[in-house]
Amino acid sequence: MNSAADLSLFEAAAALRSGTLTSRALVEAVLQRIATREKLHAFTHIATNALAQADGADAQLKRGEDPGPLCGIPMAVKDLIDVAGQPATSGSRVLAGRIAGRDADVIAKLRDQGAVLIGKLATYEFAMVGPDMNLADPPARNPWNLNHITGGSSSGAASAVAAGLVRLAIGTDTGGSIRSPAAYCGCVGLKPSYERVSRTGAFPLSSSLDHMGPLAATVAEAALALDVMTESASWRPASSMIGQSIEGLRVGFARSWFADDPKASPAVIRAMDDVAATFSMLGAQVSLIDLPDYAPYEAAASIILHAEALAEHAALIARAQAAYGRPTLQCLAFGAVISEEDLAMARRAVQPLTAAMLSAMANVDVMLTATTLTAALPFSAFDGEKAVWTPMRTIAFNLTGQPALSLPCGFENGLPLGAQLVANIGAEDMLCRVGHAFEQATDFSVQRPPF
């Protein structure tokens, strides 16, 4: 261990309380780490008051006040989410120069705990599509290979966590925007149950599908962060079962859901088979399960997403259309073909689609499937003129509102792969219990890209 920046949230919290570390020293170490890895373009802004925030946390702890486990801990926030006093452009020239007047709800919760909000992270423009090389902020790069994408839209968040710049970042997920970059970059991404975390203060992409959640170095750290971010005490704490054995738990392996797709990389299939074998070795009862066809989930979600996104952007399009990136404006334009009847029909499909998914998972505690079907593509696969979609298995759970966790599970040609665990609504505790057990049995979460 050479730098305080490498301390886990738990180690840092303990050191801050024992007096062996100050928040100022921790933040200085993190800022130094960020400065040495600027080529990642993970950060779009470093808070000018980061050290002042750290001093405030140190003073609180010195007075014996302890507002919570994240006091004095540096973390960063996707630039789709408002942090008072910091730039809030949603990665777009459309909002150039905008400074957030107040914290998003979730940021206020973190700030109340004394968290040090050290800066803003790159995002695909308005969380819509990317990478776009022609925006004001260059796209974040994959820390395992700078010539490859991070995935998105929480692109800077995944890059920053995976590269060890921060242990924790806050992102958003409308169709996989936390989980797919987490998988591509090699960190943990947790999309919670719908409405577990307030969305107020984040620029909406599609309010029916939008979720906020953490990207973290480990499952336990993601669970800790989610518990702080959670809106109401009625949700079971995500961290409450961390460390418990998974012996006897039922893991449904939805192998055909990704392996039967010709786009699935053989390396992904092999890695997922190894994940299932690891769960068996840990005593879980692993069985193959069949999920409903993915295509209707993707179809209904795409209709809802494009219709809601275009409605959300109507005023900005009227005012500043020329400032949009080309791929983003084109994607918004897709939504013009969705009639009110089409949208109503897609919304009608949500209930039976959700019921079918829950029914397919009725006899398991968690479901296991791939997050993405390949490793991260190279930038050269994107021409910047139009959107290119990468195959993944994520948006179904934005539609059903179930919690889903992506965690590192292997490599293909030196690039990380991600396994996805999904549970019933409100069962983040089960997800994190199973995910943590996998981490403890393997070494994927401790591997870091070479710098």
Partner 1 sequence: MTELDEKQFKHLLEQKGLKLDDKGFDAALQGARNLKAEVARVAAYLASHADKKS
Which residues carry out catalysis? 78, 153, 177
Q: Is residue 303 involved in binding partner 1 (CB under 8 A)?
A: yes
- Residue appearing with tokens 């839209």: 153
CB of 15 to partner 1, least distance (A): 51
Which of the ranges 66-74, 130-138, 244-252, 290-298 carries the binding residues for partner 1, by CB under 8 A? 290-298
Report d(CA 80, CA 279) in Å as an integer: 36
Among 252, 228, 247, smallest CA distance to 364 is for 252
| Closer CB to partner 1, 70 or 307, in the complex | 307
Choice between 38 and 341, CB closer to partner 1? 341
CA 298 vs CA 27, 293, 394: distances in Å: 41, 10, 9
Helical packing angle, 219-229 and 9-18, nearest 10°:
70
Pairing type for strands 116-121 and 74-78 reads parallel
294 scored as a contact of partner 1 (CB under 8 A): no
Provide, rounded to whole angstroms, the least separation between the CB of residue 6 and partner 1: 43
**Alpha carbons within 13 A on the beta-carbon side of 393:** 31
Binding marks (x or -) toward partner 1, 333..352, rule CB under 8 A? xxxxxx---x--xx-xx--x
Interacting residue with partner 1 among 46, 108, 269, 299 (CB under 8 A): 299
Minimum CB–partner distance for residue 133 and partner 1 (Å): 16
Segment interacting with partner 1 (CB under 8 A) among 42-50, 54-62, 169-177, 312-320: 312-320
Rounded to whole angstroms, the Cα distance separating 32 from 200 reads 32
- Kindly state whether residue 263 participates in binding partner 1, applying the rule CB under 8 A: no
Would you say 31 or 353 has its CB closer to partner 1? 353
The most distant pair of C-alpha atoms in the chain lies apart, rounded to whole Å, by 62
Closest of 310, 327, 253, 311 to residue 284, by C-alpha:
253
83: contact with partner 1 by CB under 8 A:
no
The Cα-based distances of 96 to 89, 103, 384, 406 in angstroms read 6, 18, 20, 32
Q: Report the nearest approach of partner 1 to the CB of residue 293 (Å).
A: 8
Q: Which is nearer to partner 1, 263 or 386 (CB)?
A: 386
Sequence letter at residue 117: L
Q: Is 109 in the site for partner 1 (CB under 8 A)?
A: no
Task: Provide the 8-state DSSP code for 250.
Answer: E
Unique residue bearing structure tokens 């800790």: 224
Residue 320 touches partner 1, criterion: CB under 8 A: no
CB of 289 to partner 1, least distance (A): 20
- Rounded to 5 degrees, what are φ and ψ at 421? -110, 140
Nearest one of 185, 8, 370, 67 to 58, comparing CA atoms: 67
Q: Please choose, out of 191-199, 251-259, 314-322, 423-431, the segment that lies near partner 1 by the rule CB under 8 A.
A: 314-322
Angle at 336 between CA 334 and CA 338, to 5 degrees: 95
Nearer to partner 1, 80 or 300 (CB): 300
* Interaction between residue 122 and partner 1 (CB under 8 A): no
- Write the single-letter amino acid at 100: A
The contact mask relative to partner 1 for 368-387 (x = CB under 8 A, - = no) is: -----------------xxx
Which CB sits closer to partner 1, 251 or 338?
A: 338
> Interface residues with partner 1 (CB under 8 A)?
295-296, 298-300, 302-303, 306, 310, 314, 317-318, 321, 326, 329-338, 342, 345-346, 348-349, 352-353, 385-387
